[in-house]
Homo-oligomer: A and B are copies of this chain.
């Protein structure tokens, strides 16, 4: 694989990797609804503040969210809402998987 090609795939992988965590997916979905500060997100995720803060920094580094200081909180916003579209596709994969599973169970019964 050529170097230039590889680095393009690496850039993409970095973004997917940033999304590939249950807590971060929750955060992404919440931020799509409205901006939130770390405190609020921490309550939603139900983990240590430091843990959530690190998750947010992963999302920020990947360019998925933006943070803005206002009043005495730091508000996080989702940057590209198209992100949510692709959750739909992920659901399709899950559905296809479930369908297969059903088929396998069926053929076992025979």
Q: Which of A32-40, A68-76, A94-102 makes up part of the contact surface?
A: A94-102
Distance in angstroms between the alpha carbons of A79 and B94 in the assembled complex: 11
What residues of B have a CB within 8 angstroms of the CB of A85 in the complex? 85-86, 89
Shortest CB-to-CB span from A51 to chain B, Å, is: 13
Provide the A29-60 mask, 1 if CB < 8 A to any CB of B, else 0: 00000000000000011100000000000000
A105 at interface, CB cutoff 8 A: no
What residues of B have a CB within 8 angstroms of the CB of A87 in the complex? 12
User: A residues bordering B, Cβ < 8 Å?
Assistant: 1, 5-6, 9-13, 15-17, 19-26, 44-46, 62-64, 79-80, 82-83, 85-94, 96-97, 100
